[in-house]
Amino acid sequence: MNVFGVDIGGSGIKGAPVDLQRGDLAQPRHKVLTPHPATPDSVIDGVKEVVDNFGWSGPVGITFPGVVTDGVTRTAANVDKGWVDLNAQQVLGERLGMPVTVLNDADAAGVAEMTFGAGADRKGTVILLTFGTGIGSALFLDGRLVPNTELGHLELNGHDAEKHASTKAKEDEDLSWEHWAKRVTKYLAHVEMLFSPSLFIIGGGVSRKAEKFLPLIEGIRAEIVPAQLQNNAGIVGAAMAAAKR
């Protein structure tokens, strides 16, 4: 069974049909750049372009980089403030003319990793962290999701942690892998102090380069592994959510 998944990120909007038996993309994904400013209208245009590229008709799951409750986007840290308290699920559904399910991006990635990837069959407390434009989080207890944790906004050095330790911060400040790994270590230590997870799964685009920074992270008790689905996890999780609706 194939269902379409779309992952809205701070830098790109990407999507593809997903084979839910395998937990993998059924076709190569299509990506467009996230518009700036990332207003609802402009982002929805991008989502429609991605979906139309495949001539898709049917349920669509869509991730959003912020808190989502019952299809309403409640926060908008890395996109336009016009998303705050928008019934995104309804607006996107009307624009696409298809059944739409909207959920937090890291939650979607986490569900995919817990089902098909690095967290499969893991019990206890597991935290997936996606490093990109910001830092997304998905918290699981014995495989069950605690939605919308938004741990990237924990305070670190007097600022949102994601301003200090995201991939964007690494790029904006031209940090070496060693320097950035120290920041990530400090952030992980803070999250570990709060939740004592048995496993951290590191996702987002940077997970493709895990060998460059994971060996540099020291002093964390929890096991730390890269996401197996890498940057496709959000697309797969979005499709899973749409299939369950």
Q: Is residue 54 part of a domain?
A: yes
If asked whether residues 131 and 190 sit together in one domain, one would say yes
Pairing of strands 199-203, 223-226: parallel
If asked whether residues 152 and 238 sit together in one domain, one would say no
Q: Check whether 245 has a pLDDT greater than 90.
A: no
pLDDT at 157: 86
Instruction: Please give the average per-residue pLDDT across 219-239, as a whole number.
Output: 97
Percent of the chain at pLDDT exceeding 90: 96
pLDDT at 178: 98
pTM comes to 0.96
By the 8 A CB rule, do 90 and 71 touch? yes
Q: Check whether 77 has a pLDDT greater than 90.
A: no
Q: Check whether 191 has a pLDDT greater than 90.
A: yes
Q: Is residue 115 part of a domain?
A: no
Those residues with Cβ within 8 angstroms of residue 245's Cβ, 6 or more apart along the chain or in another chain: 59, 99, 101
What CATH code is carried by the domain that includes residue 12?
A: 3.30.420.40
